[in-house]
C-alpha cells in the first residue's frame, strides 16, 4: 500500500494550498492562490485532481475557486462558503458537517471548526488501506477527538506570549489580538489538542498557517516534537 504524500504549495495569510496524493489519486486542499500558481505548483496537471476541498470563504483559502470550477474540477465546500463568495457553478458540491462523502478514492468527513467565517469546516480524509489524514486550519480550537489518524495537518498560528509582547510593544492593536485569539489556533492549543487525541499511528505532523509576526517556526517544531514524539514539519 502506498502512503499519503503531502506537498504544500503555499501556507499563510498570503495563500493556502496543499496537494495530497496516494498512488494515482490526487486531491487539493484549499485554493488560496491564483489558478495559474496552482497549475504551476501541480506541474500543470491540475485537471488530474479528483477534486478540491475548501474550508471557508476567506481569499487566502478560496481565491481560485471560480477558476477551478470553470476548469472542470469538482469543488466541495459548505453552503455558507458558497453563499459568502456568491459563486454558483455545477462543479460546486455542497457538503455538511458530520456527513461523509467521497471524492475519487477518498472518503471525507467534514466537521465544524471555530473561525470568523460563515460555515467553516475541517476534514478527516481516509485514503486507501488504513491511511487517514486530519486537516484543521483557521480555528481557535477543535472540540472533536480523532482515532487512527496517520497524518495531521493543523494550524499553529501564534504563541500567546509572542502575541502579547507585540501588543505591549504597540506593533499589534488590542482589537486585532482579540480577533486572532478568537479565530486562530495557538501553539498552546495545538499541543493540548494533539495530546488529547490518539497519536499511536501518526507518522507525521504538519504545522500550517504560521503568523509572520507572532510565531517562531523552529520553536514550534521543537515543542510539538517534544510533546508528541512525532516528526513535525513547518509549512
pLDDT at 208: 97
pLDDT in the model for residue 184: 92
Cβ atoms within 10 Å of 179's Cβ, excluding its own: 12
Q: Write down the pLDDT at residue 226.
A: 97
Give me the helix-helix angle, 187-195 and 217-228, nearest 10°.
20
Nearest C-alpha neighbor of 223 from the set 184, 183, 190:
190
Q: Which residues contact 159 (CB under 8 A, 6 or more apart)?
A: 186, 187, 188, 214, 215, 216, 219, 220
Q: Let me know: does 56 contact 120? Beta carbons within 8 Å.
A: yes
- The per-residue pLDDT for 71 is 95
* pLDDT at residue number 188: 96
Ranges of residues in the chain with a pLDDT under 70 are 1
Q: What is the pLDDT of residue 52?
A: 98
- Domains of the chain are 5-234 (3.60.15.10)
Q: What is the pLDDT of residue 176?
A: 79
Q: How many residues are there in the chain?
A: 235
Interval 97-108: pLDDT, tens: 999 999 999 999
Backbone angles phi, psi at 56, to 5 degrees: -165, 180
Phi-psi region of 15 (alpha: psi -120 to 50; beta: other; left: phi over 0): left
Burial class (CB in 10 A: 0-12, 13-18, 19+), 56: buried
**pLDDT at residue number 165:** 85
Amino acid at each position: 500500500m502506498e502512503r499519503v504524500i503531502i506537498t504544500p504549495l503555499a501556507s499563510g495569510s498570503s495563500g493556502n494550498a496543499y496537494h495530497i496524493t496516494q498512488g494515482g489519486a490526487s486531491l487539493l486542499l484549499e485554493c488560496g492562490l491564483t489558478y495559474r500558481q496552482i497549475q504551476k505548483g501541480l506541474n500543470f496537471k491540475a485537471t488530474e485532481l479528483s477534486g478540491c476541498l475548501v474550508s471557508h470563504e476567506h481569499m487566502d483559502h478560496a481565491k481560485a475557486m471560480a477558476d477551478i470550477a470553470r476548469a472542470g474540477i469538482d469543488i466541495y465546500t459548505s453552503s455558507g462558503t458558497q453563499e459568502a463568495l456568491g459563486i454558483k457553478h455545477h462543479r460546486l458540491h455542497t457538503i455538511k458537517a458530520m456527513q461523509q462523502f467521497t471524492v475519487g478514492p477518498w472518503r471525507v468527513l467534514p466537521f465544524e471548526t471555530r473561525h470568523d467565517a460563515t460555515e467553516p469546516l475541517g476534514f478527516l480524509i481516509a485514503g486507501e488501506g488504513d491511511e487517514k489524514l486530519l486537516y484543521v486550519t483557521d480555528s481557535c480550537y477543535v472540540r472533536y477527538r480523532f482515532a487512527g489518524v496517520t497524518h495531521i495537518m493543523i494550524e499553529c498560528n501564534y504563541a500567546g506570549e509572542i502575541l502579547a509582547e507585540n501588543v505591549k510593544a504597540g506593533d499589534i492593536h488590542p482589537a486585532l489580538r482579540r480577533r486572532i485569539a478568537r479565530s486562530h489556533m495557538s501553539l498552546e492549543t495545538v499541543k493540548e489538542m494533539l495530546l488529547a487525541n490518539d497519536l499511536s499511528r501518526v507518522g507525521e505532523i504538519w504545522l500550517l498557517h504560521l503568523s509572520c509576526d507572532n510565531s517562531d517556526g523552529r520553536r514550534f517544531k521543537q515543542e510539538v516534537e517534544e510533546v508528541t514524539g512525532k516528526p513535525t514539519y513547518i509549512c
